[in-house]
Each structure stands twice: as C-alpha cells, then as structure tokens.
Amino acid sequence: MIDQLWFILLGFVAGILGSMIGLGGGIILVPALTFLGFPPATAASNSLFGALSNAVASTISYSRQKRIVYSLGLKLGLLSIPGTVLGAFLSTAIAPDIFKILFGFVLIASAVYIFVRKKIETAEKTFSIQMMIFAVSASFFAGLISAFFGIGGGIIFVPLMVVGMGMAMKKAAPTSQLILLFSSLSGVIIHSILGHPDFIQAGLLAIGSFVGGLVGARLSLDVKERYLQIIVSVVILVAAGKLFVDSLNDNLNFFGF
C-alpha cells in the first residue's frame, strides 16, 4: 500500500481544481488513471470515489459561505440518479480505445466551458414547463455521463443553471457540488455492486480529494480566475490530445502497424 500513497496527492490536486471550477475532480482523475492503463470501468469507479469525497468537502465549505441554492440542488441531484445507474452498467461494455476518444471530446468541451463560463451568465429567468422538462432530461444525461466517465456531471449542471435558469456563476458552481454529491454517491454504489473499483486506490483518492475540496473552495475566493482558466484548460487539452494519440496507437497496434 505504501507505493500507492501518491494516489492521495493525485486526489488532492484534482480536488482543488475540481472544487474551484465546479466540474468535479474527475476531469483530472480519469485521464490520469486512463494513462496508467486502468480499464474504463475501473478508472470511472475509482474517480467517482474522489468525486464524491470532493463534493462532500466542497459542499461543506460552500454551505458555510452560503453560496448553495439547496432547493434546486436537491431536485437536480435526485433527478440525476437514474442516469448514474445506466452509466455504470454501460462503462463495463465499452472498449478502452473508444472510451479514450469519447472522454477526449468531454475534455475539449470542458476546456471550452471553462473559457466561456463568465460570458454565459444571463438575466434571471422564470421556470417554464419546457425548462422543467429540459432540466429533467439534462439531469438524467448528466447522471449517465457522471457514472460512465467518472466525472460527476458538473459540465452539464453548471451551464444548465447559468444559461437555462439565469443563476449567477458564484452560486451555480457551488450548487453543482451539492448535485454532484448525489450523482457521485449513486454512481459509487452501483459501480461497487458491479465490482468495478479498486477500493484501496479509490480510498486514497477520496482522502486527497476531500482535503483538496476544502482547499479549493477556500481558494476560489482569492485566486484570479483568468490564471485558473489558463492552467486547467492547458492541462485538460494536453490530456485530451494524449487520449486521442493513445487511442490511435491502440488501433494501429491492433491492425499490426
């Protein structure tokens, strides 16, 4: 176990970044675990332990800062649970090279989101029937990608709250952490029932992510967001490129090139 303690550091770094940008630490954890050769289901399930721990720590911190909209967060969190069940089952069936390509696109979408997040704030909106239907559908899809990729689903929930509901970013990102608590917990339960996680590694990631979540929520009040945008976007775009290259190499090796 001693030689696996670096998982704590990985979880800590992912926890800080995930808490500050509101997307969850899985954006960092899953590429790292994939590069280490973990199969999709194991990478996703181990990452979700970190995402859950990160969400707990972030929710505690943001709750003290009074930046969480509980009524909305609880509803969207519960709506995401059915999707997590389906996502956990689907992660078992996907081939590693396909998983790398799909997650590469998720990372690119995340990088784009990070740069435009301050520009997508809109005036507060009134809920309509159409918006409620869209929120239900989006929550199910967010739950699905949460358990499938092990990332938490924040990339869906934050734009949904900001663009669709007119919520201010300073409340949307913290509220997303409450939602991720539900989606990641249900994902962890289903993945565990299916026997996907390595519980020692997942536990170490969870320890680091919890501490990182506390630190990240505090730093979010002081760090200049522009610097954070650049650093995180560069990291995940490099990771996306690496995933695409690895997937291409896997296919070339399969065909004997």
pLDDT tens for the chain, 257 residues long, are: 567 888 999 999 888 877 776 666 787 888 888 888 888 889 889 998 988 887 888 788 888 888 888 988 898 889 899 999 898 888 888 888 888 888 888 888 877 777 776 665 555 555 566 667 777 888 888 888 888 888 867 777 777 777 767 777 678 778 888 888 888 899 999 999 999 999 999 999 999 988 988 888 777 667 666 666 677 677 778 878 888 888 887 666 655 55
Q: Is the dihedral of CA 38, 84, 12, 238 positive or negative?
A: positive
pLDDT of 235 reads 73
pTM (whole model) above 0.85? no
Q: What angle do CA 171, 141, 84 make, to 5 degrees?
A: 95
Domains identified in the chain, total number: 1
Do 136 and 83 meet the contact criterion of CB atoms below 8 Å apart? no
Q: How far apart are the first and last CA of the chain?
A: 38
Burial of residue 35 (CB within 10 Å: 0-12, 13-18, 19+) is middle
Show the CA angle centred on residue 26, arms to residues 22 and 27, nearest 5°: 75
- Token pair 């990608």: residue: 145
Give 60-71 as a 3 state SS string: HHHHHCCCCCHH
Match 């790292």 to its residue by tokens: 32
CA–centroid distance for 163 within its chain: 19
Domain range for 55 is: 2-254
pLDDT of residue 200: 92
Q: Which long-range contacts (CB under 8 A, 24 or more apart) does 111-114 make?
A: 111/232, 111/233, 111/236, 111/237, 111/240, 113/23, 113/155, 113/158, 113/159, 114/21, 114/23, 114/229, 114/232, 114/233
Specify the pLDDT at position 40: 86
